[in-house]
Structures are given as C-alpha cells and as structure tokens.
Structure 1
Amino acid sequence: MNAPTTNRGHQGWLTLDQVCEELQISRDTFYDWRKKGRAPKCAKLPNGSLRIRRSEFEKFMTKAEANA
C-alpha cells in the first residue's frame, strides 16, 4: 500500500485569491496596497502569479492589529 500524498510543500504559501478572500478585499485593492508598500511581502513566480508566505501574512495581520 502506498502512503497518501500530502501537499506539505504548499502549506507555507498562500495564493493571492486566498489572501484577498481572508481580508475580504478585491485584487485591485491588494495591488493598490502593494504599489503603496502596504501589502504583505510577496514572491513573484515565473508565470507572473504572486504567492505570500503564511508567516509574512501573519506579520502583516499582527502589524494591522497593533495599528487598529
């Protein structure tokens, strides 16, 4: 019997859609924040899509909470 496959390599990364859904914002708002340096730090993949480390998202949320 083969061991089940896991998706562990991707657990540390969030897609742009996941981040926007979590924050309840549009992609346009995210790109505006990114342009202004207010978005969480992103990694740009060779295909142009963005990924956000879960740890960077948590830092972003902690900072936002402290500023509230």
Structure 2
Amino acid sequence: MATPRRHLTIAELCDELAVARSTFYEWRAKRRAPRCIKLPNGEIRIRRTDLETWLDNCEEAA
C-alpha cells in the first residue's frame, strides 16, 4: 500500500475532493479552505493532516 503524500498540491486536493480549482480558490478567499503553506516560489501546498482536520470540522451530526 502506498503511503499518502504529506503535502498535497492544489490539483491533488481538488482531485481528491472532486471540486473545481475555482471552488478551492473561492473557499480560500472566504477563509473556508484547509490551512495552506505558501512556498518561496509562490506555489501552495496543503498538509495532509490539515486536510484531515478540516474535513473533520466539516462533519455534521446526523
């Protein structure tokens, strides 16, 4: 079994969540996206742990 990557690109995150890149940027503008890391070259990465925490916080009680 492959180990999940520790840091995701925006494309990987969007693919995993099945959302458009524009949706991610909309969430980010509204401060509703998972925490992001901005690298010195301007690229953005998302820690897998931050994504998991964000998803946990999105859960609703049934």
TM-score interval (norm. to shorter):
0.7 to 0.9
Larger C-alpha radius of gyration, 1 or 2? 1
Query: Structure 2: 5+ residue runs without aligned partners?
Result: none
What corresponds to 1:22 in structure 2? 16
Q: How does 1:1-68 map onto structure 2 within 5 Å?
A: 11-66=5-60
Q: Show structure 1 runs of 5+ residues with no match.
A: 1-7
Structure that is richer in helix per residue: 1
Offset of residue 49 of structure 1 = 1.1
Q: Percent identity?
A: 47
- Say how many residue pairs are matched: 60
Deviation at residue 67 of structure 1 after TM alignment: 6.4
The alignment's TM-score, normalised by the length of structure 1, stands at: 0.77
Q: Report runs of 4+ in structure 1 exceeding 4 Å deviation.
A: none
Backbone CA RMSD of aligned residues: 2.1
